[in-house]
Structure 1
């Protein structure tokens, strides 16, 4: 799996994502610095934002960030930051387009499929995107999150890993089947869950960083030094470490914030935002909160403690209660992501079937996949998620970049 990802996430993919991020940063007038101007909306838009955050603020913020540091070194954190800063511009552009096309075609299926199909005129490209997003819902949004939850519970010795996966899926099923549409159930749950879990996790990480009495300056120095220093193993393959830090950092960053994947457009399109620009600005803010804030807290907590995982760091500082706290956070983050991605997958299936998909069957299969994740390696699911993400990113980035460039020409 890692060999395949080394090819798919090689220099071409990394370069394409970085260049697209830079291009959209410039074309948006450096939207990262101007978000406040467009942040407006009503209650329905707030529910859409919470639902999108529920999907993106999954275990990528905890286990994904830890895996990035373990695999790519502290320098991977820097490239996660880069993915977030550039990702804010990508999230803005794709959601602005999503809002514009939703207004233009009010009776069509919403989401990236709409601007891919109508904007580029390629139904096939839209179908590829929808199929990849449906696969991502099952693997990245459901199985990877549930596997991370199962591992966290299993490590605490509460119940076996396989049993934790089943219990989690049964709990998710109660919410998912509580409404005819998964989107309604996900939004209702996310509106209540996301603010609570975000504040709980941030408070815990800040407390750990304070108690370890570590120098934030030294942590920053370590991150920046590792990001650009050619660490060489015996044999003199200079640059290999930095190359891995870039690739892993971007992969884990995108896994965390989903910028460039277009997935947040699926729920934002029905959010009732005041304008397409407002819809884009809220999506950019979500990327900031997800990676710049949440993943940075995770990284600093790990690096300040000198441990490889957040559970080890919290156990070192707070004893057994610290490990249980992180287990609870992983469960909340994973469960929220499962609900959000169930919504995404349902919308993609509706597009592929022209609205004739059996919703009950889809939700049943989705929950079964979650239960099965307790029997599968988390590393395998992370790797498979990275592969699927490539097939999400390229159709979306092609459409968003082409339509952004075309819009500038039309305006001129």
Structure 2
């Protein structure tokens, strides 16, 4: 299919921006999905990894950019590279180990060997290619790669704006705030788990800045909390938060404004659920000021930050989506901790992650069931629109885009506006 002109030229029929309505076709048309992979995932910055996952020279991890398998690796000079996981000879993958450390990559089919920077270093019997064969022209296909606050992004689009410009100043400010949950230590990935949901990728994209579902879908989670924590998560009734369009499809949902800046209000009483942790840190010799900073950071930030098109910084973890097909999406939940921080604090972070995000947690499994039910539901009533118009009635101007009520669907509209913009190019 030629990309000179979009096949789906009537984008207004797919996303009616004026009335904030999404066509059912958006979730179930395989040809539209294929065009999204070309026009969106191959044209913009896509999150692939976190720098902490590459502690040594030769550290690598498999990831994806849309449907393209890639390897992210730190070379001998300490530079990070992102390369398509495909031998330049006959297309076999050159790595099948999800994460590890190596000195090189070698194709298992014919033995072509590649350096950590993707360059073709050696191949058996090269004389059969003739004297004009240039190894420098046959390295692994490399993507442009940039990082912000340890978050590694890659793109096939060499002409795209720098990463910090794509994110924008407001997004960068929120990422800076989010990373304060290192409690004075660098943030690192403690581990991750992956699961697959039979849904279109945009269903999950909509979820992270959707507070409206929280008291319904996460009722069981709320019932597991102590009184003070339950009150803190009762942000819909409090109405103090907001959802804001941050430009380029990004958005933020501020659920707990008092936890926007984890370095603020450190003199506040330590929540009862963290008193044992605080005492353990004091017993280990940490001074009171540092104990307060670490404990406050353990609970995570008070907001979800959605970065178009594939990653969310959600309270205390990264959620990464990978579109597999029109009705299948892989999700990775990356647990975050404190690099060099106290073991007790990182254990507490893992326990909190397991409580909500884990495979046996009280949050994400409920989310996944609803996502699956959406994909089943769109098979009926093809002419019925999907509504993302909640909160249009009282949106106000924000710094980079409109700001709405905590339960508004402002973040979804931000993502679909960017979707429409990219699909029109």
TM-score by shorter chain over 0.5 = no
Of Structure 1 and Structure 2, the greater strand share is in 2
**Structure with greater Cα Rg:** 2
Structure showing greater relative contact order (alpha-carbon pairs closer than 8 Å, 6 or more residues apart): 1
Which has the larger helix fraction? 1
TM range (shorter): under 0.3
